[in-house]
Amino acid sequence: MAMKHAATSAVRALTAASPSALTRSLHASAGSKKIVGVFYKGNEYASKNPNFLGCVENGLGIREWLESQGHQYITTSEKDGPDSELEKHIPDLHVLITTPFHPAYVTAERIKKAKNLQLLLTAGVGSDHIDLKAAADAGLTVAEVTGSNVVSVAEDELMRILILVRNFLPGYNQIVSEDWNVAAISHRAYDLEGKIVGTVGAGRIGRLLLQRLKPFNCTLLYHDRIKMDQELESQIGAKFEEDLDAMLPKCDIIVINTPLTEKTKGLFDKDKIAKLKKGVLIVNNARGAIMDTQAVVDACSSGHIAGYSGDVWNPQPAPKDHPWRYMPNQAMTPHISGTTIDAQLRYAAGVKDMLDRYFKGEDFPTQHYIVKDGELASQYR
């Protein structure tokens, strides 16, 4: 395998049209690097917690370390459009760090302009904000901090399931609007016990969610490209459903836990949603673009989907007129589940470790690579 990668890189280097293409397939060359980090703004909250590393002001807590080694480190939240701060640095940056919470969209056009770019790091999990094929063709490395926030997301999904099942949000809204109407809540509030819960995708997050659901005495189903080994499956207590279309109509609650790829983009369209049980609850902390936006609005409006909750949108930040803000039966939030303080500490440490290895010319932990040597990680192919 290593031989094949070496051969692919060598062929690419030899056939590369320009010297810059050759440089891109190498590890860090000596000297100062220009590193740009795109993060959400901390504003008045930036100084409230010394561990709040994920905001633009605190820039993962690596500024002193980078600058002490002679590197230039620019952090910004201005990421979209031709006049943005990010756009100014595209022509000469070497490394771009961003997060899925406030993603810098790295298009083929930006990659073409970024002549010095070698490395794209995702501070978190999910690198779909990057045109991965264009990155592979340009010989770039894309890596994320795999596993860094999977507990954070699984806990959040469990919370969202309970919020929807118990019809919690309308009750909270009654209290803040000085109302009191038990019937308006209780006519559609249920126990989680006994319900059929299916996860679409049972990787790191999906499995942690299934483990957390076990004590609630539900029937647990999962669909994935890959079946778990028998021992893990019986430990987790979930049944494998090879055929997604066969699993969906059985579920009272569906949780989406796949990455956004060519295969999952728009997967939940009108036809797929029509296959779901009437009154189904959906939790999606995976990616907004896995759903057809309007199909979700229509199904929430008709009541086919009785509750939809998640923290992921297409695009991000969600524009003020995004229809999911206004549809009924939703319990949406901004993209928050994977950026708890605990998660920030883990993904900041993961990014620092990868930068350190990049400067030293060392490989990253294998599971972090999304694009390496011109090849996409298997689930993105």
Ligand X SMILES: NC(=O)c1ccc[n+]([C@@H]2O[C@H](COP(=O)([O-])OP(=O)(O)OC[C@H]3O[C@@H](n4cnc5c(N)ncnc54)[C@H](O)[C@@H]3O)[C@@H](O)[C@H]2O)c1
User: Among 96, 337, 347, 372, which residue sits at the site for ligand X (rule: CB under 6 A)?
Assistant: 337
Q: Would you say 66 or 255 has its CB closer to ligand X?
A: 255
* Residue 205 interacts with ligand X (CB under 6 A): yes or no: yes
Q: Would you say 171 or 237 has its CB closer to ligand X?
A: 237
Spatial distance between the Cα atoms of 367 and 235, rounded to a whole number of angstroms: 24
Please give the sequence-ordered ranges of beta strands (E in DSSP) within the chain, or none if there are none. 34-38, 72-76, 95-98, 119-122, 141-144, 196-200, 219-223, 238-240, 253-256, 280-284, 305-310, 330-332, 369-372, 375-376
Binders of ligand X among residues 95 to 134 (CB under 6 A) are 124-126
* Residue 198 interacts with ligand X (CB under 6 A): yes or no: no
Going by the DSSP 8-state scheme, the letter that residue 226 receives in this structure is: S
* Class of residue 2 by CB neighbours under 10 A (exposed 0-12, middle 13-18, buried 19+): exposed
Site string for ligand X, 246-285 (x = CB under 6 A): -----------xxxxx-xx--------------------x
User: Among 182, 226, 232, 274, which residue sits at the site for ligand X (rule: CB under 6 A)?
Assistant: 226
Q: Indicate which residues carry an active-site annotation.
A: 149, 287, 316, 335
Beta-strand pair 238-240/253-256: unpaired
Q: Would you say 208 or 297 has its CB closer to ligand X?
A: 208
Q: Would you say 42 or 259 has its CB closer to ligand X?
A: 259
User: Among 338, 350, 370, 371, which residue sits at the site for ligand X (rule: CB under 6 A)?
Assistant: 338
Nearest approach, Cβ of residue 311 and ligand X (Å): 5
Backbone angles phi, psi at 32, to 5 degrees: -75, 140
Alpha helices in 196-291 (DSSP H): 204-213, 230-236, 244-247, 270-274
Spatial distance between the Cα atoms of 123 and 248, rounded to a whole number of angstroms: 32
Binding residues vs ligand X (CB under 6 A): 124-126, 149-150, 153, 201-206, 224-226, 257-261, 263-264, 285-287, 311-312, 335, 337-338, 379
Q: Which residues are annotated as a binding site for NAD(+)?
A: 204-205, 224, 259-263, 285, 311, 335-338
